[in-house]
Amino acid sequence: MEDLKEIGKKAKKAASLLGKLGVNDKNNALLCVADALTANAGRILTANAMDTENAVQNHMNPGLIDRLRLDEKRIGQMAEGIRQVVKLEDPVGEVLSMKKRPNGLLIGVKRVPLGVIGIIYESRPNVTADAFALCFKTGNAVILRGGSDAIHSNQEIVKVINEALAGCGIDYAALQLITDTNREIVKELLRMNEYVDVIIPRGGAGLIKMVVENSTVPVIETGTGNCHVFVDESADFDMALDIIENAKTQRIGVCNACESLVVHKNIAKEFIPLLVDRLKQKNVEIRGDEMAQEISGAVMPAVEEDWGKEYLDYILSCRIVDTIDEAIAHINRYNTGHSEAIITKDYNNAQKFLDEIDAACVYVNASTRFTDGFEFGFGAEIGISTQKLHARGPMGLKELTTTKYIIYGNGQIRE
C-alpha cells in the first residue's frame, strides 16, 4: 500500500504554506491550472481513453461510462469551472467580529482554512479538478481518492495540475491523489486524525455510509436525498403539477430530485388523475398507498420500503394524508434531511411547514431541484450537506473554512 502517513505529513505541511498565500497568488495559480488543463487536453484524453476502454471491457453500464468519459468540451468545462472559482471572493482572512471585553481583551473571530481536506468520490474525473479548485481557493490542502475506474484520468489531471502549480512556485503538496486502488487504504485515510481535518464523501449512499461508519476524522455527510413534495388542500393544481414534473423528471439521477409525493386527502380524488396524466408523458411509475390506488388504476402498490427510497429513477411514491400534521410527521419520519416542498395557498400552512420540517432546505411553492450551490448564488458547490454540524445544505467556499479566535491583550491574567 501507498505510504498514507507520508501523504498526510506532506499535506499538513502544504496546508501551513497555503494558509499564508494571498488571494492574488491563489488566483494566478488557478488561472495557470485552467490554462494547463486545456493545453494538455490531449494527455488527459489519452489517459481517459484507457479508463473508458477498461470500463467497456468490464461491462460498466452506459450511464456510468458517460460520466467517466471526457472530451475536449468537458475538459474545457473543467477549466471554465476553475476560472469561475477565481472570480469568487476569498472568504479566508475575514474578521467576522471583534469585541472588547471589560478586562480590555480584544477578542476577534477570524475565518481561516480548515487545513487538510480528504475527498472521496466515485468515477467522475471532473470532480478531481473541481474539488481541487475549491479547496485551493480556500487555502486548504487536499487529498483525493477517486474511483478506481477513473484512475488513469485522475492521475493525469492531477499531474497536469501539479505541473502548473509548480510553474507558479507552488512546489509543495497542495493536491495529492491516492493512486493505490486497494479499498483498505480508504479506511486508513478515514482514521488519520493527526493529518486530516475533515473528510467529505461525494457519491452514492453506499460510499457515504461506508465513510460515516468508518471515519474517526470528522465527516461532512453529503448527498442522499429522499425529497418530498406535499400538495396541500389549497394548492394551485397547475403549479403543483409543474413543480412535481420538474422536481421528479428534470434530472432523475440527482439528490435534489423529488422521490415521494404527499397529497392532502381533500383534493386527492381530483388531483391524482391529473397527476397520473401529466407524469404518463414522462413514463413515471407512481407507487401509492391504498387510497391512491383506489383513485387511479394507474397507481401501483407501494410497500413500506418505498417511503424511504431514493429511486434516482422514473418512479415516484405517493401517500395520501388526512392533515398537514400527518404530512409533516410522514416527511420527518422518512426524509433524509435534504429538501422538502409544500405547494399551498394557505399562509399558516406554509409557515407551519417551514417551521416544523426537519431538513436542510424547506420550500414553499418551488421545486426541490433548486438545492444547489450555484442556484443559491454561492458560485460554487463542493456538495450538499445532509447533516446538522458545520454545514447544512449546499456548501460553497465558506463551508470549506473554519474560524479561530484572535485575542489581543496587554498583560491580562485571570483572577
Query: Is position 212 an interface residue for its own copies (rule: CB under 8 A)?
Result: yes
Q: What is the dihedral of CA 51, 144, 399, 371, to 10 degrees?
A: 20
Sole binder of its own copies in the list 90, 122, 149, 197 (CB under 8 A): 197
Enumerate the β-bridge partners of residue 127: none
Query: Is position 242 an interface residue for its own copies (rule: CB under 8 A)?
Result: yes
Pick 312 or 376: Cβ nearer its own copies: 376
- Beta strands 95-100 and 106-113 are antiparallel
Pick 105 or 166: Cβ nearer its own copies: 105
Question: Of 177, 188, 219, which Cα lies nearest the Cα of 10?
Answer: 177
CB of 402 to its own copies, least distance (A): 4
Task: Measure the CA–CA gap between 41 and 177, rounded to whole angstroms.
Answer: 19
Query: Is position 389 an interface residue for its own copies (rule: CB under 8 A)?
Result: yes
Question: Of 200, 207, 80, 76, which Cα lies nearest the Cα of 135?
Answer: 200
CB atoms within 10 A of CB 45: 18
Query: Is position 323 an interface residue for its own copies (rule: CB under 8 A)?
Result: no
Residue 198 contacts residue 141 (beta carbons within 8 Å):
no
Task: Measure the CA–CA gap between 57 and 35, rounded to whole angstroms.
Answer: 33
Task: Measure the CA–CA gap between 384 and 393, rounded to whole angstroms.
Answer: 5
CB of 198 to its own copies, least distance (A): 6
Sole binder of its own copies in the list 129, 177, 359, 380 (CB under 8 A): 359
What value does the CA radius of gyration of the chain take, rounded to a whole number of Å? 24
Sole binder of its own copies in the list 47, 276, 361, 397 (CB under 8 A): 361
Name which of residues 25 to 54 contact its own copies (CB under 8 A): none
Task: Measure the CA–CA gap between 328 and 344, rounded to whole angstroms.
Answer: 14
Q: Candidates 79-87, 128-136, 154-162, 369-377 — which segment interacts with its own copies by CB under 8 A?
A: 369-377
Query: Is position 321 an interface residue for its own copies (rule: CB under 8 A)?
Result: no
Those residues whose C-beta lies under 8 Å from the C-beta of residue 56, and which sit 6 or more positions away, are 65
Sole binder of its own copies in the list 30, 157, 369, 373 (CB under 8 A): 369
Pick 139 or 288: Cβ nearer its own copies: 139
Sole binder of its own copies in the list 213, 270, 277, 322 (CB under 8 A): 213
Pick 125 or 139: Cβ nearer its own copies: 139
Residue 319 contacts residue 292 (beta carbons within 8 Å):
yes
Query: Is position 218 an interface residue for its own copies (rule: CB under 8 A)?
Result: yes
Query: Is position 179 an interface residue for its own copies (rule: CB under 8 A)?
Result: no
Sole binder of its own copies in the list 64, 239, 252, 298 (CB under 8 A): 239
The separation between CA 366 and the C-alpha centre of its own chain, rounded to angstroms, equals: 20
Residue 219 DSSP code? B
Query: Is position 171 an interface residue for its own copies (rule: CB under 8 A)?
Result: no
Query: Is position 148 an interface residue for its own copies (rule: CB under 8 A)?
Result: no
Question: Of 35, 72, 43, 74, which Cα lies nearest the Cα of 157?
Answer: 43
CB of 235 to its own copies, least distance (A): 11
Enumerate the β-bridge partners of residue 78: none
Query: Is position 234 an interface residue for its own copies (rule: CB under 8 A)?
Result: no
Grid cell 456548501 is found at: 395
User: What distance, in Å, lies between the first and last C-alpha atoms of the chain?
Assistant: 54
Annotate each residue in 94-133 with x if it binds its own copies (CB under 8 A) or - if it does not, as one string. Answer: -----x-x---x-x------xx------------------
Task: Measure the CA–CA gap between 286 and 318, rounded to whole angstroms.
Answer: 7
CB of 197 to its own copies, least distance (A): 5
Query: Is position 137 an interface residue for its own copies (rule: CB under 8 A)?
Result: no
What is the contact surface with its own copies in residues (CB under 8 A)? 16, 19-20, 99, 101, 105, 107, 114-115, 193, 197-198, 212-213, 216, 218-221, 236, 239, 242-243, 245-247, 250, 332, 350, 354-356, 358-367, 369-371, 375-377, 387-390, 392-393, 402-414
